[in-house]
Structure 1
Amino acid sequence: MKSKLPKVLHKVAGKSMLQHVLDAATKAGSKRNVVVVGFGGDTVKEAIGDQAEFVVQAEQLGTGHAVKQAAPLLSKEKGTVMVLCGDTPLVTADLISKLYEGHKAAGAKATVLTAIMPDATGYGRIIRTAEGDVARIVEQKDATEEERQVKEVNSGIYCFECKELFEALEKVGCDNAQGEYYLPDVLGILREQ
């Protein structure tokens, strides 16, 4: 962003991107908001105040690592954890509600919101089984040429059953092109189980 201001605090339509996400989550019925902060964390905390609890990701080691930082606050909870990105100001309460309702109706342990992109460059690809279930998500840098042809992409928005999420995060490795702990790997781990 070429800015000293944390990305999630950049304004869109008069309020920060993160505020849009928190507003949508709250309107959709979120009972507890936990924000993972890194760069500029104190500035984010000051801007958001008591609208959320905060955990710090001191080292940016990937999305799986970021969510794992919330384990002390959430790992003993029962119910569903929804993971949203703080830089998605166009996410709506209606979309969040529909994703949650679909997750619960399916009795799933994990659900990912996907999209079809004519040009999927840069996005993680949804790899499905012959039956149409999500087998795994592969990041662009780790994808084969065939996988890069897939147009269905990961939105970065998920629902997980809490217990299963934090147990699976313990099994996520960092043997990939980025050397990071990828949250999407949780889906493959849960599928294998």
Structure 2
Amino acid sequence: MGATDRPKVCSDLEGVPVITRALDTYTRCGIKHHIVVVGEQADQVAAAVCERFPRTIFAYQFEPLGTGHATRCGASVLEAFGYEGDVMVVAGDKVLEERTVREQLDLFRRSGADFCFMVGAKGDFPSSGRIVEDEAGNVLGNIEVGDIARARLIGQWFEAVQSRPLAGDGVRAEMLEAFSTEAKARRAMPRLWRLLGERALIRADDLRSCFSPDEAIFEFNRQDGEILRFSAEEVETRARHANLTVFFMRMEALRYALEQLAAANAQGEEYLPDAIGVLAGASTSDGRPCFRVVAYEIAQRTDALAFNTLAELEAIRQHYRRRREAASDKR
């Protein structure tokens, strides 16, 4: 996250570690038992959590293989105990308003949903996954912005290479612009990155050796069995909301989603948000939906905050500082 040895979730917010603040919020909302998935710096996370919540259960993720894999680690504990109730799944660095959690939990219970996920306005969360809907407003799935960027580039390159070879330097520059770092670009397109080290021009045959043209298209399964296909541009245009990765799920839905997750994405990780499409598209042999999926939309951007950099963390601190000062002025 920056120049600190402290795990991100142990960062201080209003005098309390972020993860402790989060568990306090969830406990006040009636969620009494917690499983925290840890990896590197597990001892620091456990120390911060157990100071306030000594009965917390910890599950260890040996490798950082994505949010889906982390959830699988936590779910294995639930399976070991034979748990069949409802589950909240959320990242440890989320800063959520108590009101927001209560409202989402209420919608989950009141609607009889098997799966309820939190969304916000797309413009407020430019780096969050896009929720794609059909013409009737039914949820089809979530696409991460990195996967949209990857598909967009593949589509553009296949179109351009029909008339002339692609300049390797230009291709490399486009990859770095889309994925921000060499490591991410290499992970998203490993064969092409390797080719760029060998030749100055990328021809049509080179491109076909790295990708299928179908990789420029996203497919979504509707519950009626129809398969919808959208380009990267269509995904971005259709999406009105961003996924905020705060999930309430019945155990049956969680189990089903984890069975279907795969690492077929730009970063080669298991993405938990893929559960949105998995559950929204699941149907029985006679076309009936297997799961009821509903979205809860936050009222304003500050209802659900998260951070990846020290600057973003400081912005959250300033938000709470201003709110505290405003409340003090009213008294």
Unaligned runs of 5+ residues in structure 2 are 149-231, 283-331
| Residue type of the alignment partner of 1:142 | D
| Residue type of the alignment partner of 2:276 | L
Q: Which has the larger radius of gyration?
A: 2
Answer yes or no: is the 8 Å Cα contact 1:77–1:163 preserved in 2.
no
- More helix, by proportion: 2
Answer yes or no: is the 8 Å Cα contact 2:142–2:273 preserved in 1.
yes
Does residue 84 (structure 1) correspond to residue 90 (structure 2)? The answer is yes
TM normalised by structure 2 equals 0.55
CA distance in 2, matches of 1:152, 1:18: 26
Does residue 153 (structure 1) correspond to residue 154 (structure 2)? The answer is no
SS, match of residue 123 in structure 2: coil
CA distance in 1, matches of 2:124, 2:5: 31
Structure 2 equivalent of residue 183 of structure 1: 272
Does residue 54 (structure 1) correspond to residue 58 (structure 2)? The answer is yes
Equivalent positions of 1:1-193 (< 5 A) are 1-2=1-2, 3-49=4-50, 50-75=54-79, 76-89=82-95, 91-118=96-123, 120-143=125-148, 144-149=232-237, 150-193=239-282
| Residue type of the alignment partner of 1:116 | A
Runs of 4+ residues deviating >6 angstroms: none
CA distance in 1, matches of 2:147, 2:269: 12
CA distance in 1, matches of 2:49, 2:40: 15
CA distance in 2, matches of 1:137, 1:10: 29
SS, match of residue 114 in structure 1: strand
TM normalised by structure 1 equals 0.93
Give the C-alpha shift of residue 151 in structure 1: 4.3
| CA RMSD, 1 decimal | 1.5
Percent identical pairs in the alignment equals 32
Unaligned runs of 5+ residues in structure 1 are none
Answer yes or no: is the 8 Å Cα contact 2:133–2:141 preserved in 1.
yes
CA distance in 2, matches of 1:151, 1:168: 24
Q: In 2 relative to 1, CA 121–183 (structure 1 residues): closer, same or farther, beyond 3 Å?
A: same
CA distance in 1, matches of 2:35, 2:262: 24
Give the C-alpha shift of residue 105 in structure 1: 1.5
